[in-house]
Amino acid sequence: MRTMFIFFGMLFTLSNAEFQVSLLKESDGVVTGRFADSLLLSLPPCAFATQSVTLEYNNTDTNESKTLVNIFKVLPCRFRRDIISTIENNGQFTTSRNLGYQVTNLTTGSTYRFLTPVASKQNLKHSFCMLFISVKDPNQIDSGLPARSGAMVVITVILSVSMFILLVALIVTVAHSLGGD
Amino acid sequence: MADGKGFTCLMVILILGNIFGAAAGLALCALAIWVAVDQFKLYPISGVSGKDDIFAGAWIAIFTGFAFFCMCVFGILAAAKKSRALMLTYLILMLIIYIFECASCITAVTHRDYLVGNSNLVKKQMLKYYAADGDSGSRITLTWNKVMKEVECCGTDGPVDWIEYNSTFREKFGTDYPWPTHCCKRKNNYEVVNVEACKNGQNTTMFTKGCFNHIESVFSRYTWAISWYGFAVLMFMFWLLILAMVYYLML
């Protein structure tokens, strides 16, 4: 089982506010935040609105670094194009909700460390998140017999016993009738 | 033996029992035809894995069910005619049919345990054969596409199966589409509602439940039809044969 160990740090240059970067989960409205070679990360909160976001990540296995500079500005809670957002329409009004940012072109089986300084001034605060992505080989799935069900045992036992009884009874019947003749 | 009241009573019971047995045998034949027809079209899942004896049991049950019907009619004749030779023929042939029907019941329920005891076999098969080349690959792909569309499900235990494991689908098509587009919700004109949202995994635009529950319930239904109903018929025939042997001894 190969695992990709991802280490995130989001740095925000702002007032002493702290921000926790994390993977999107089912409660955020997606099936999973972990794909084979990409991840869905949560967005900085609207409190950092108009701050430009730079994401720097480092593959700790191969020691390659990559920086995505000014990928988007932190949203003032309104729709933006590169962000994954969902639009919910219940027939009366439409709401759009921004879910997260998808980091792509990652390598399966590597460890990554993410850092995001929001392009501004001082006061960097770190926030880390540890993530595992595993891609398993389907040939390792054990598809043998899991267990014998109760139905199978009952049917087999009772039918086998009844077959045996009938066979013995028939032999006895024929023998008795032949002996009697 | 004396042609007393007990003897006549036994003969009547035997005749009535054979009438009921004939009806039961015919019903078994009809039920087995229903299973063999496979209205849910899930045979490839069992066929490709080699564990298709639920359907083999159904074919055996078609013939044994009809054979039970014929033999019970013959049994009525044999009992009414009070003929030893006919009764012996009846007993021997019924025993042979009984043994075949036992085989059908046991093999159907055993293979059901192999197939859907847990989701591993179905999941492994889906990952290996979906979008694969070859006869098995195309059969599995068509079956899964049909199931995903009709039951509105994705993957075996869920769409995460496609991400957690490597698959023939991913090797063929890359990681752009994490799961087949059949997992996406579609409009009435069969167009995908939102391809990008489906690729990102937004749960309002795709099916999030797994297909295994449906597959397991279908195979279980087929198995209960063959093995449990077959078992019930055999238990009835067991006592009928014991009575027939007693009757034969009294003749």
pLDDT at residue A113 greater than cutoff 70: no
Nearest residue in chain B measured CA to CA from A26: B203
Give me the sheet containing A94-103, strands edge to edge: A39-42, A94-103, A84-89
Q: Return d(Cα B108, Cα B124) in angstroms, integer.
A: 22
Digit-coded pLDDT (tens) for B4-19: 889 999 999 999 999 9
pLDDT at residue B46, rounded to an integer: 94
* A105-119, B29-43, B151-165, range with the lowest pLDDT: A105-119
CA distance A24 to B81: 80
Stretch among A26-40, A48-62, B98-112, B209-223 having the lowest mean pLDDT: A48-62
pLDDT over threshold 80, residue A1: no
| Distance in angstroms (rounded) separating the CA atoms of residues A37 and A102 | 10
- Which residue among B105, B124, B231 sits closest to A143, beta carbon to beta carbon? B124
Chain A residues touching residue B249 (CB < 8 angstroms): 173, 176-177
Mean pLDDT score, B189-213: 90
Burial of B42 (0-12, 13-18, 19+ CB in 10 A): buried
Contacts of A146 in chain B (CB under 8 A): 113, 117-118, 120
> What residue spans of chain B are helical by DSSP H?
5-37, 43-49, 53-81, 84-116, 120-129, 134-151, 160-164, 168-173, 195-200, 212-223, 229-250
Can you give the pTM of this predicted structure?
Answer: 0.82
* DSSP H/E element including A31: none
A88 - beta bridge partners?
A95
Q: How far is Cα A24 from Cα A33, in angstroms, rounded to an integer?
A: 5
pLDDT of B80 strictly over 50: yes
From the list B84, B175, B234, the residue facing A35 with the nearest CB is B175
CA-closest candidate to residue B40, choices B225, B179, B177: B225
On average, the pLDDT of chain B sits at: 94
Task: Using alpha carbons, select from A143, A33, A133 the residue that is nearest to residue B126.
Answer: A143
Cβ–Cβ of B175/A34 closer than 8 Å? no
Question: Are A32 and A101 contacting, i.e. CB atoms less than 8 angstroms apart?
Answer: no
Task: Record the tokens describing residue A128, joined without a space.
Answer: 């880390």
Cβ of A99 within 8 Å of Cβ of B164? The answer is no
In A, minimum Cα distance to B118 occurs at A146
Whether residue A61 has pLDDT greater than 80? no
Q: Report residue B31 CA to chain centroid gap.
A: 10
Residue A30 · residue A162 · CB < 8 Å = no
For residues A89 and A49, the model is more confident at: A49
